[in-house]
Structure 1
Amino acid sequence: MSRLLKRRETLLFVIIVIMVAAFSSRATGFATPSNLANIFNDTAILIILALAQMTVILTKSIDLSVAANLAFTGMAVAMLNATYPDLPLVVLVLTAIVIGALLGVINGYLVWALEIPPIVVTLGTLTVYRGMAFVLSGGAWVNAHQMTPIFLNATRTVVLGLPVLSWIAIVIVAIVYIVLRHTPFGRSTYAAGGNPVAAVYAGIDVGWTRFLAFVLSGALAGLSGYLWVARYAVAYVDIANGFELDSVAACVIGGISIAGGVGTVAGTVLGSLFLGVIKNALPVIGISPFTQMAISGTVIILAVVFNARRERSRGRIILRDQAAKEVNSEELPA
């Protein structure tokens, strides 16, 4: 029990519960099941993007282009739907995933084959993908009346009390959990970020693992592109602008180490929900958008400090234990 209480995920869950209780005292009905379901649905896309970001961060990399990938992919499938309304929805969804994965391939190849730092690569492709969305659309919007009803309503259909969008997020969470915990790729992901040198000696191709992480990240961003356009019934160049930072923030708050190799799917989901609760609650209780930004930034900084102190403490324990072993070995008689 004490071990469970010390876990980062348990602490974060308790904080979220306290926040919901506190906000419900200021806004009647905030903690009702229907409103909590709405908050989860509003956070579903962020959860998927944060899981995409987590996969890359675990390999000691970062993907700043996830939101730009979402914007380009969302624009592409929205224009396809508007131009060819008879295309089946499954074809459009698969197209979004494939386009997103191909954009991830570009990031992964530049990081793996050319050994360019991930932050430099994805900062560049962030701008490139946004520019591609502008070129593709000519700066025009694709509005709800140009899209087919099934394209827009598929994710809004309520099943067992939750919209399909929420169920998609739950399925993605389960898939990513299984991939990271029970597949060779998942184990390689943690090893490549936790100790790249040891991973190489263990026979793990660190570069290839990072490449696959970027491809998976791109595929999830591509799926999010369709989900975003269907959810908000509009596609334009600047959709999800700044969401790449929210995805990083959700990971950091959830305990994912920027240094790589440390973190859980549960932590990422809770970090996303933490941001979702804040963004839904602060406007309700009358907090200005500028104050919301300051609060969110403060939370991120505190999370980074907490992570750094935790990792430093672990480092001290390892060093202390190693020193104790060396002293004991010196004291043993020859």
Structure 2
Amino acid sequence: MLDISVSSFAKKAMQRREATLVLLLVVLLVPISIRSPNFLSVKNISTILNDMAILAIVAIGEFYVILSNGIDLSVGSIIAFTGMACGMVNESYPQVPPAMLLLIGLGIGFLMGLLNGVLVAYGKIPPIITTLGTVNIYRGFTFLLSKGTWVTAHEMTSSYIAFPRSSFLGISYLLWIAFIVIAVFYYFSRFTRTGREVYAIGGNPTAAKFVGVSENRIRVVVFLISGTLCGLSGALWTARYASAVNEMATGFEMQAVAACVLGGVNFAGGSGGIIGVVLGTLFLGVITNALPVIYLSVFWQTFVEGLIILVALALNTLSDQRKNTRLLAQRRG
């Protein structure tokens, strides 16, 4: 009896994308750690987590847009504009504390996300078309703001550059911010009405409307979340990498989408979870840091990310087909 229940629990656990990702991470880490014993050192793990912290924050924002059956391709450009704006403020007004710069980034990202959301919700422009437009508009704003120049490390204050690297209880502020974002939005998606409505709109918008869910409001909300988190990430990006360049975060939307899809988020909307997205981000981080260990150039990173998206989408499609087949069989039975 006990063996049957344990077997049933294990089978159900492995059907979840989170469990599969954990297993894949373990399988991936074994040969890597054999080739490079220092790969699993505390220092290297800390480096991987800090490298992936900003991606995790951005991927959570992308998660909500995909969950609502949309996509935000403008995340890299929002990061670039907010990062440049925060860098220039820091250069011109060095007395502004780092915490205020984060708030400035949040505010700018909020406004950019609001514009995306309004265009999608009330302009009735499909999300992919809207953000294909704003990705260039926001990147253009970045060049206009900076006039093509950069803000380099020696033009920024030491307190701003040191902020992401400062630690509390042995954990960097950057990781603490990522943990807070993960916790807040995990609660939001699981235990709030609006969070559940995002799932409803993505899964079955017609049925959601019949029970009183405002699709326009949810469209605006998810793009506000994405834009605001990208604004925060832009401020952190400039401080972490000690520079603000016009081309920063180019193509970053592909990494955010890869983390979501790898984490089991349905590209058609309606299903997925924050924990899966975080594990997908961690998986990407391990792969990126493992490339030099297995003697592959970092230039393979884009290829690997594209391959991961294709494989993950194929797995998601197969999983959906199996679920639909089981549902049809149960109805007929």
What TM-score, normalized to structure 2?
0.95
Counterpart Cα distance in 1 of 2:172 and 2:90: 22
User: Which position in structure 2 is the counterpart of 1:122?
Assistant: 131
- Kindly indicate whether the alpha-carbon contact (under 8 Å) linking 1:60 and 1:260 is maintained by their aligned counterparts in 2: yes
User: Which position in structure 2 is the counterpart of 1:214?
Assistant: 223
Could you tell me how far 1:35 is from its partner in structure 2? 1.1
- Kindly indicate whether the alpha-carbon contact (under 8 Å) linking 1:109 and 1:211 is maintained by their aligned counterparts in 2: yes
Counterpart Cα distance in 2 of 1:323 and 1:5: 27
Q: How does 1:159-308 map to 2 (within 5 A)?
A: 159-308=168-317
After the TM superposition, which segments of 4 or more aligned residues of structure 1 sit over 6 Å from their partners? none
Could you tell me how far 1:222 is from its partner in structure 2? 0.1
User: Which position in structure 2 is the counterpart of 1:61?
Assistant: 70
Query: Which of 54, 78, 97 is 1:88 aligned to?
Result: 97
- Kindly indicate whether the alpha-carbon contact (under 8 Å) linking 1:21 and 1:31 is maintained by their aligned counterparts in 2: no
User: Which position in structure 2 is the counterpart of 1:314?
Assistant: 323
Counterpart Cα distance in 2 of 1:323 and 1:116: 40
User: Which position in structure 1 is the counterpart of 2:33?
Assistant: 24
Across the aligned residues of Structure 1 and Structure 2, the Cα RMSD in angstroms comes to 1.1
What number of residue pairs does the alignment pair up?
Answer: 324
Counterpart Cα distance in 2 of 1:256 and 1:122: 20
Identity of aligned residues (%): 44
- Counterpart amino acid of 1:110? L
1:255-300 per-residue CA deviation (whole Å, 9 max, x = no partner) reads 0011001001010001011111111110233102344433332222
Query: Which of 37, 41, 47 is 1:38 aligned to?
Result: 47
Counterpart Cα distance in 1 of 2:182 and 2:87: 25
The secondary structure found in structure 2 opposite 1:283 is coil
The secondary structure found in structure 1 opposite 2:248 is coil
Counterpart Cα distance in 1 of 2:196 and 2:83: 32
The secondary structure found in structure 1 opposite 2:296 is coil
Could you tell me how far 1:226 is from its partner in structure 2? 0.6
- Counterpart amino acid of 1:105? L
Bigger drift between 86-95 and 167-176 goes to: 86-95
- Counterpart amino acid of 1:193? G
Q: Say whether 1:137 aligns with 2:146.
A: yes
User: Which position in structure 2 is the counterpart of 1:7?
Assistant: 16
Counterpart Cα distance in 1 of 2:31 and 2:305: 17
Counterpart Cα distance in 2 of 1:144 and 1:16: 36
Structure 2 segments unaligned to the other structure (5+ residues): 1-8
Could you tell me how far 1:154 is from its partner in structure 2? 1.1
- Counterpart amino acid of 1:286? Y
User: Which position in structure 1 is the counterpart of 2:112?
Assistant: 103
Counterpart Cα distance in 1 of 2:25 and 2:297: 21
- Kindly indicate whether the alpha-carbon contact (under 8 Å) linking 2:288 and 2:298 is maintained by their aligned counterparts in 1: no
What TM-score, normalized to structure 1?
0.95
Could you tell me how far 1:150 is from its partner in structure 2? 1.2
Counterpart Cα distance in 2 of 1:48 and 1:103: 17
Counterpart Cα distance in 1 of 2:97 and 2:44: 33
Counterpart Cα distance in 2 of 1:265 and 1:88: 31
User: Which position in structure 1 is the counterpart of 2:3?
Assistant: none
1:7-31 per-residue CA deviation (whole Å, 9 max, x = no partner) reads 1101101111221222111113001
Bigger drift between 131-140 and 22-31 goes to: 22-31
- Kindly indicate whether the alpha-carbon contact (under 8 Å) linking 1:152 and 1:231 is maintained by their aligned counterparts in 2: yes
1:190-229 per-residue CA deviation (whole Å, 9 max, x = no partner) reads 0010110110011000121011110011000000001100
Structure 1 segments unaligned to the other structure (5+ residues): 325-334
- Counterpart amino acid of 1:55? Y
1:37-63 per-residue CA deviation (whole Å, 9 max, x = no partner) reads 210111000100100100111111110
- Kindly indicate whether the alpha-carbon contact (under 8 Å) linking 1:52 and 1:220 is maintained by their aligned counterparts in 2: yes
